Structures are given as structure tokens and as C-alpha cells.
Amino acid sequence: MKYRILYTSRAQKDLRRFQDTTARRKIRTIHTLGEDPYLHVRKLEGSAPDHPVYTFRIGLYHRAILSIHDEVLIVHVLGTENRKQAYRDF
């Protein structure tokens, strides 16, 4: 079963800050998670056990912060940032 990919308003705002080619590459890479979202993600330390937050590497310098909801088959993209900034708010 395929997961749907949803973006928060913050994630949409983050994507608008990048050049068009970079934003498209990020979106295309994030959408590869639809088949098996647990294949390439890592659970963030310190996230709540009942509602874990994951990180997904996009290229060398960018990360997407995700929340995966198995019961409704949704991958919720919480934000996309440069790797230096990505973990500060989560």
C-alpha cells in the first residue's frame, strides 16, 4: 500500500526558500518514501515514543523532518532545512 505525502505549512514555506531546481529535487526525493517510508529514515533521539519524529536525508546538505502515521498511511513532512538548521526546532 502506498503512503500519501502531506506537507505542513512550515514545510511548504521551507521549500519556497530554495531555488526551483533544488525544491523540485527535494519534492521528488521525498515522494520516493511513498512505497516504504521506513527504508531510509532515522528516528530522532528524544522524540516521544508514542509519536516519533524521523529524519530523511536529501542529498549531502539537506534533511526533511517527518512524522509517519501507519494507521492512515500518511507521511507528514514537518519541515525541510539545511542539515545544520534542521534539528534545532524538533
Q: What is the pLDDT of residue 62?
A: 87
Residue 77 sits in a domain whose CATH number is: 3.30.2310.20
- Helical pair 20-30 and 9-16, crossing angle rounded to 10 deg: 140
| pLDDT tens for each residue of 20-51 | 998 999 999 999 999 999 999 999 888 888 88
Q: Which domain holds residue 39?
A: 4-86
Q: What is the dihedral of CA 20, 25, 26, 29, to 10 degrees?
A: 160
Q: The pTM is what? A: 0.83
Number of domains in the chain: 1
Cβ atoms within 10 Å of 37's Cβ, excluding its own: 21
